[in-house]
Amino acid sequence: MNLAVDINWGIPIAIFVINVVYVTLNTIRMMLTMKGYQTVAPFVAMVEVAIYVVGLGLVLDNLDNVINVVIYAVGFGVGIYAGMKIEDKLALGHILVTTIMPENGWEIAEEIRGNGFGVTISQAYGREGNRFVLEILTPRSNERSLYKLIHQIEPRAFIISYEPKYINGGFWTKRMKTNKRQVRDNPQESPFSEE
**Which sign, positive or negative, has the C-alpha torsion 117, 120, 122, 128?**
negative
Has residue 82 got a pLDDT over 90? yes
Q: Is residue 83 within 8 Å of 26, Cβ to Cβ? A: yes
What is the pLDDT, as a whole number, of residue 98? Answer: 93
The Cα 172–Cα 116 span in angstroms is: 12
Distances (CA, A) of 172 to 6, 54, 117: 62, 44, 10
What is the pLDDT, as a whole number, of residue 1? Answer: 46
The Cα 140–Cα 125 span in angstroms is: 29
Q: What is the pTM of this model?
A: 0.62
Which residues are within 8 A (CB) of 95 and not within 5 positions of it... i.e. 6 or more apart? 137, 138, 139, 140, 143, 161, 162, 163, 164
DSSP state of 115: T
Q: 3-state secondary structure string, 79-113?
A: HHHHHHHHHHHHCCCEEEEEEEECCCHHHHHHHHH
In this prediction, residue 173 has a pLDDT band, given cuts at 50, 70 and 90, of: low
In this prediction, residue 80 has a pLDDT band, given cuts at 50, 70 and 90, of: very high
Mean pLDDT (the chain) is 80
Can you tell me the mean pLDDT for 152-162?
Answer: 91
SS3 at position 139: strand
Has residue 166 got a pLDDT over 80? no
Has residue 145 got a pLDDT over 80? yes
Distances (CA, A) of 48 to 21, 55, 56: 8, 11, 12
Start-to-end CA span in the chain (Å):
81
Neighbours of 131 (CB within 10 A): 17
